Amino acid sequence: MIPLNFADVALDLVQHYPSMGTMKLKNGDSGLKAIARKASAFPSGSCLSFWERLIYSFVHVKVENRSQDPHGGDIENPADSSQVFEQICGLICLFEGNQFIYVPKLKPLREQKLMHHQALDLVKSLCEIIKSLNDATACTSLYEEPILVAAKLGIHEVVETIVDTFPDALYSRDEDNHYTFEVAVINRCENVFNLIYQMTEYKQYATLLTDDSGNNILHLAGRLAPIHKLNLVSGAALQMQRELQWFKEVEKFVNPTYKEKQNSSKQTPAVVFTEAHRNLVYEGQKWMKDTAGSCMIAAALIATVVFAAAITVPGGNNNESGLPIFSKDHAFIIFAISDAISLFTSTTSVLMLLSILTSRYAEEDFYHVLPRRLIVGLVTLFLSITTMVIAFSAVLYLVFGQKKAWILIPMAALACLPVTSFVSLQFPLLVDVISSTYGPGIFGKQSERPFY
């Protein structure tokens, strides 16, 4: 039932037949392990867009057993506000990135949230049934694998529920002698690792354990992330930045003496990190240079064009005074200001991008230095393109606007083309870099609820 997303049926069965909650199949699977492996049955394992997350947070569900609702009808009053909200969501159209999107309808999200509630209730029921055995060995055999599976997949709801019922489950070990938090760090599951922020006096103890090879949790943070986790971040440079963020975050909780502690291979955590990320540093360097080089060509061309426009003013100069003929025209003032801004910003962009090309590309540079320079380079490049187009439009208005006003319509439309093209092609990269460098980050306390 669990693999088929019938968590409500499974919950109903274990409530009527508690012995099913402690049964194991021939392959060693139990009900708790099966639901822990079903990542999509929990909020932390579901991939939702911004709008879906927003609507999901407002959706109200009322959990009911199937036995109480045999026909599988609506779980809410069909005339309630949620139905009205659903109809509104179906009509709203928004513009995101370079394409139109529709706000998702409420019903699928409501069903998904209901499934999440039922799955969590199933985990709680299974834990209570296992606890009722009053046999420590039997309990351990039933919760040990599920909590490690949940930690590996990043399902913090399952980890929290199991630890609430069995506090010692937090220190369950896998075949490599890695306990729960270490498994989360190895697999880069921030949802589970963030539970350490909710711990009290046991927070330091949780980072003192080592595996069979003498690796502490900082050694494990120094390993390269699984490829499927790296691919969630765009670009090798930002992947390297994310790896540095993980290493520095784990370092905050480690005893200072553990930062220089060697494992059985005589390697400190810093050495492990350097060895594991050598290829990623090379790929990040190549990605940064390619990106900076491409953008610098565009910035240099813009600087050349706007400089030439500045010394060759439209309409020429007055032979007597030497001043530009259109100097008192508002369009000329707009041209002069826009051209100057475009020149200054494009020059700044060239210098910033040039500094990326000449950087030493040490590991630490990927943390803030290189991303910061890339942000400045891209932002100033965007401003230079925008102001260059404004300056060009102002010149066209000076030449044709007063006699041929109709030309302003196609001019305005075409002026938006380069700006829109840049936004659609480069703006997502800029957003990713800014979010990764200055955003709220992936680490931090998830709730005020104490953990362990």
Interval 233-272: pLDDT, tens = 989 999 999 999 999 999 998 988 999 999 999 999 999 9
Closest of 43, 135, 48, 52 to residue 89, by C-alpha:
52
Contact yes or no for 385/333 (Cβ under 8 A): no
Measured distance CA(99)–CA(30) in Å, rounded: 45
Residue 316 has pLDDT above 50, yes or no: yes
Mean pLDDT, the chain, rounded, equals 83
Q: How confident is the model at residue 296 (pLDDT cuts 50, 70, 90)?
A: very high
Of 205, 211, 133, 198, nearest to 168 by C-alpha is 205
CA angle 18, 22, 25 (to 5 degrees): 125
What is the mean predicted confidence (pLDDT) over 144-170? Answer: 93
Taking alpha carbons only, the member of 387, 390, 379 closest to residue 303 is 387
Do 359 and 351 form a contact (C-beta atoms < 8 A)? no
* Residue 337, SS3 per DSSP: helix
- Inform me whether the pLDDT recorded for 101 exceeds 60: no
Look up the pTM and report it: 0.82
Q: Are 154 and 187 in contact (CB under 8 A)?
A: yes
- The rounded distance, in Å, linking the Cα atoms of 166 and 201 is 18
